[in-house]
Chain A
Amino acid sequence: MKSKSRNFKKNAVAALANSTLQKALQNAKDGFINKRKIALDALPEFEQLRSNAYKIKEHTLKNIEAYLKQFEQQVKNSGGEVHWASNTKEAQNIIVKLCQDAGARSITKGKSMVGEEVALNEALEKAGFETIETDLGEYIIQLAEEPPSHIIAPAVHKSQQQIADLFKEHHKKYNFKSKLETIPEIVDEARKVLRDKFIQADVGITGANFLIAETGSTVIVTNEGNGDLTASLPKTHIVISSIEKVVPTLEDTSVLLRLLARSATGQEITSYTTFFNGPKRNTDLDGPESFHVVLLDNKRSEMLNGEFHDMLRCIHCGACLNHCPVYNTIGGHAYGWVYPGPMGSVLTPLMQGLKESQHLPFASTLCGRCEEVCPMSIPLPQLLRQHRIQAHKEKINSTRSRLALKLWALFALHPLLYRLATNIFVKLLSWLGKTTGSISQLPFSHAWTRSRDLPSPQGQSFISAWKKQQKNKRMSKHD
């Protein structure tokens, strides 16, 4: 998907004016936040788990090459193959080739954000394959031809009515004609449509939440079980994932799984947690005949030893999105690419270029709630600030704001000049607001006064008033 982050401001304004979206966001927010809170209240050892998770991930990142090698070896030992993709184009090519080699016509997919990152569907469709998303949310947005708006709930921006309408339009060809009025009816119809697709598919593509080095397993968590059918019914199973998902042991994985489910959906554990190990063995009754893992780098190696290292601990739980007041106000599409919210505002500039996505790191109040809820203790505000430092260095942000900042800094660094300017400013504003106590319109300040008054100052600045008071005190002492 081509990034639309450049249009962030326009996207955000449109999102604010979209009442269906606003309602959906409100519902989703309350649900996610409350469920997570209940789950954490019931887990007194959360902080302990969090600090263990930090140690596990840091240890892994420090030794990532060795663990990736071990993972590759173990996948080989179980009869599978690992393919390395340094960028998204390579990942597309590898997967298209694997599908062609498998003689595929039809492909089912489980939800994968790395798949979104490499724009896999577009590539597969261009190569002539029929590609069907099998996660309900992903399926919905595939019909709507939209990108996901949330990393764990891709269709969270859609209302029930919108989904029913989409199904009506797209399921006509399968002879489904009844009106869908309840959620179970919607789910049931999707299940019926997808069942045939599962059976017809030649290749199944899933993502992975974790890659376990000691066993060569790939792990996915789902609540619909669609991932299991996608992986085990077709002849070929391809896993698309990225290098930072590797974890040393099964034991380590269990720590991360406990944090992931609670942080994401407030569940103790997701309905399905599946470990895939290579293709079908002789003794197995079913399963794929070939098993491939495609591991994407796409700038991650560069992050490893740089300022954005901490971001590689991310387990894609979505908690930072759910608790972000900006995300909750505008939704995920406004961010313009596949990763929205705080984690997206850190990742997108790294993967799509800072110039292209310059708004994202600035469109945050740095309120710190994301860092507070992040199970992996990622200092998201500091990372956003890091992008801002880079933007300032590269002179990417607007000339107007740079100039204003320069001028302000000049005053702030010359206290006497600063006093003078403050006194003039205070006098002027006090005069403007003298009748009502506030100012409702000001030249060059529409951004503030469009929705707020400006409480007016109190006639003089604090420092001037203080100085006067001290002087009077001294004089009365002398009298």
Chain B
Amino acid sequence: MRIALFATCLIDTFRPSAGFAVIKLLEQAGYQVDVPELQTCCGQPAYNNGDLKSARKIAQQTIETFKQYEYVIIPSGSCAGMLIHHYPNLFEDNPEWKNKATDLSRRCYEFTIFLHDVCKKISFPIKNKISITCHDSCSSLRETGSKQQTRNLINSNKNLNLIELNDSDTCCGFGGTFCVKYPEISEQMVNDKVANIMATGAEILVSADLGCLLNIAGRLKRLKSPIKVFHIAELLAGETDKAGMGNEI
């Protein structure tokens, strides 16, 4: 069966290795993965800044781009939330596109949910014992609801020792354009998050959302912390011996 990857603009730009890790795992689970070249961004920057007109146009473009796939896999809670929940809401006054958006929404899966709920029997090639901690993005907690799936995936591997974060349901302060519009507030929020991450003593931080990861990895790096940061797909694909985000390649 052919399935499509919606790579997300941030993975496309900053972390191709996460995209390849997703594909590796999906292929292992027996799927052949397509990456439609005409994809761009899910449109959240427009949607969350009140520009509904642009958001609608981008949504229509995305809907068209992915119309022939049975499954669309999205390795980000916030982009998945956008396609699954917000696209249909964008077309309240347009039944034709509302239908199309709802149809796409039914075929979309956040990556960890797909791995957990749809791909049965998948094992992760993780060779050494690693202590990790996991940041749940706000959208993965409250829009896609993938917290439990993520935990089950991690705990299914004996080499992974998960240390939970304090205040794990508090936002990291990224918030899309929020972090550059209100940098001082965002800094304090990411500081609190990073303090909790460092307190776990884990070697590696993972998350399923690259926005949060750029924010957190950037702050960790500024504080010269040795904690390595990866997208959860990279962890599960056994690729944490490579350079983490913000580390020398």
CB-nearest residue of chain A to B62: A412
Q: Return the CB mask of A446-457 against B: 1 if under 8 Å, else 0.
A: 111011111111
Q: Which of A405, A412, A419, A465 has the largest count of B CB atoms less than 10 A from its CB?
A: A412
CB-nearest residue of chain A to B42: A412
Residues of B near any A CB (own CB < 8 A): 7, 9, 11-17, 19-20, 35, 37-41, 43, 45-52, 54, 57-58, 61, 138-139, 141-143, 169-171, 173-191, 214-215, 217-219, 221-222, 229, 243, 245-249
Say what secondary structure dominates the interface of chain A.
Answer: helix
CB-nearest residue of chain B to A389: B50
> A415–B64 Cα gap in the complex (Å)?
13
Contact A409 B46 (CB under 8 A): yes
Known pairs A330-B185, A454-B218, A462-B7. 9 more at Cβ < 8 A?
A325-B170, A365-B174, A367-B138, A368-B143, A385-B48, A392-B52, A405-B49, A412-B43, A437-B247
Known contacts A16-B185, A364-B175, A413-B58; is-contact A452 B11 (Cβ 8 Å): no
Q: Which of B37, B47, B179 has the largest count of A CB atoms less than 10 A from its CB?
A: B37
> A363–B247 Cα gap in the complex (Å)?
31
> A372–B136 Cα gap in the complex (Å)?
15
Contact A365 B173 (CB under 8 A): yes
- List the B side residues contacting A412 at CB < 8 Å: 40-41, 43, 46, 54, 58
Contact B221 A451 (CB under 8 A): no
- List the A side residues contacting B243 at CB < 8 Å: 437
> A448–B181 Cα gap in the complex (Å)?
9
Specify which of A13, A371, A434 is in contact with B184 (CB 8 Å cutoff).
Answer: A13
- List the A side residues contacting B15 at CB < 8 Å: 457-458, 462
> A426–B15 Cα gap in the complex (Å)?
10
Known contacts A405-B46, A455-B214; is-contact A365 B138 (Cβ 8 Å): yes
Contact A440 B222 (CB under 8 A): yes
Within 8 A of B (CB), among A424-453: 425-426, 434-438, 440, 445-448, 450-453
- Answer whether residue A460 sits at the interface, using C-beta atoms and an 8 A cutoff: yes
CB-nearest residue of chain B to A334: B185
User: Ordered nearest first, which 6 A-B pairs have the shortest CB separation?
Assistant: A365-B175, A452-B218, A392-B50, A388-B50, A455-B246, A462-B16
Q: Count residues on chain A whose CB falls below 8 Å from chain B CBs.
A: 67
CB of B110, distance to nearest CB on chain A (Å): 15
Specify which of A12, A393, A455 is in contact with B221 (CB 8 Å cutoff).
Answer: A455
Specify which of A392, A415, A447 is in contact with B40 (CB 8 Å cutoff).
Answer: A415
- List the A side residues contacting B13 at CB < 8 Å: 422, 425-426, 457, 461-462
- Answer whether residue A272 sits at the interface, using C-beta atoms and an 8 A cutoff: no
- List the A side residues contacting B51 at CB < 8 Å: 392, 405, 409
- Answer whether residue A463 sits at the interface, using C-beta atoms and an 8 A cutoff: yes
Say what secondary structure dominates the interface of chain B.
Answer: helix
Q: Which of B142, B179, B188, B247 has the largest count of A CB atoms less than 10 A from its CB?
A: B188
CB-nearest residue of chain B to A324: B171
> A9–B181 Cα gap in the complex (Å)?
9
> A405–B182 Cα gap in the complex (Å)?
17
Specify which of B12, B138, B218 is in contact with A462 (CB 8 Å cutoff).
Answer: B12
Contact A463 B7 (CB under 8 A): yes
- Answer whether residue A87 sits at the interface, using C-beta atoms and an 8 A cutoff: no
> A161–B13 Cα gap in the complex (Å)?
51
Contact A369 B16 (CB under 8 A): no
CB-nearest residue of chain A to B242: A458
- Answer whether residue A390 sits at the interface, using C-beta atoms and an 8 A cutoff: yes
Contact A437 B40 (CB under 8 A): no
Residues of A near any B CB (own CB < 8 A): 9, 12-13, 16, 325-326, 329-330, 362-369, 371-372, 385, 387-393, 397, 401, 405-406, 408-409, 411-413, 415, 418-419, 422, 425-426, 434-438, 440, 445-448, 450-458, 460-463, 465-467
- List the B side residues contacting A13 at CB < 8 Å: 184
> A477–B138 Cα gap in the complex (Å)?
44
Known contacts A368-B142, A448-B218; is-contact A326 B49 (Cβ 8 Å): no
> A409–B50 Cα gap in the complex (Å)?
13
CB of A150, distance to nearest CB on chain B (Å): 18
Contact B50 A393 (CB under 8 A): yes
Q: Which of A13, A362, A397, A451 has the largest count of B CB atoms less than 10 A from its CB?
A: A451
Known contacts A409-B51, A462-B12; is-contact A453 B7 (Cβ 8 Å): no
Contact A365 B184 (CB under 8 A): no
Contact B177 A12 (CB under 8 A): no
CB of A437, distance to nearest CB on chain B (Å): 4
- List the B side residues contacting A450 at CB < 8 Å: 183, 187
Known contacts A390-B50, A405-B51, A461-B12; is-contact A466 B138 (Cβ 8 Å): no
- List the A side residues contacting B179 at CB < 8 Å: 447-448
- List the B side residues contacting A371 at CB < 8 Å: 142
- List the B side residues contacting A411 at CB < 8 Å: 40
Contact A409 B171 (CB under 8 A): no
> A362–B179 Cα gap in the complex (Å)?
11
Known contacts A393-B50, A437-B249, A438-B218; is-contact A463 B178 (Cβ 8 Å): no
Q: List 29 A-B contacts (CB under 8 A).
A: A12-B182, A13-B184, A330-B185, A363-B181, A363-B185, A365-B138, A365-B174, A368-B141, A372-B142, A389-B50, A405-B51, A412-B46, A412-B58, A413-B54, A415-B37, A422-B12, A447-B181, A451-B183, A451-B187, A452-B215, A452-B218, A452-B219, A455-B218, A458-B15, A458-B17, A462-B13, A462-B20, A463-B7, A463-B39
CB-nearest residue of chain A to B46: A409
Contact A453 B218 (CB under 8 A): yes
Known contacts A413-B54, A418-B40, A455-B217; is-contact A401 B177 (Cβ 8 Å): yes
Q: Which of A16, A367, A392 has the largest count of B CB atoms less than 10 A from its CB?
A: A367
Contact A405 B45 (CB under 8 A): yes
> A12–B52 Cα gap in the complex (Å)?
29
CB-nearest residue of chain B to A386: B50
Contact B185 A12 (CB under 8 A): yes
> A435–B11 Cα gap in the complex (Å)?
21
Known contacts A393-B50, A405-B46, A448-B180; is-contact A437 B16 (Cβ 8 Å): no
Specify which of A16, A397, A446, A467 is in contact with B188 (CB 8 Å cutoff).
Answer: A16
- List the A side residues contacting B49 at CB < 8 Å: 362, 388, 392, 397, 401, 405
CB of A41, distance to nearest CB on chain B (Å): 15
Contact B214 A365 (CB under 8 A): no
CB of A307, distance to nearest CB on chain B (Å): 12
> A437–B52 Cα gap in the complex (Å)?
36
CB of B63, distance to nearest CB on chain A (Å): 13
CB of B16, distance to nearest CB on chain A (Å): 4
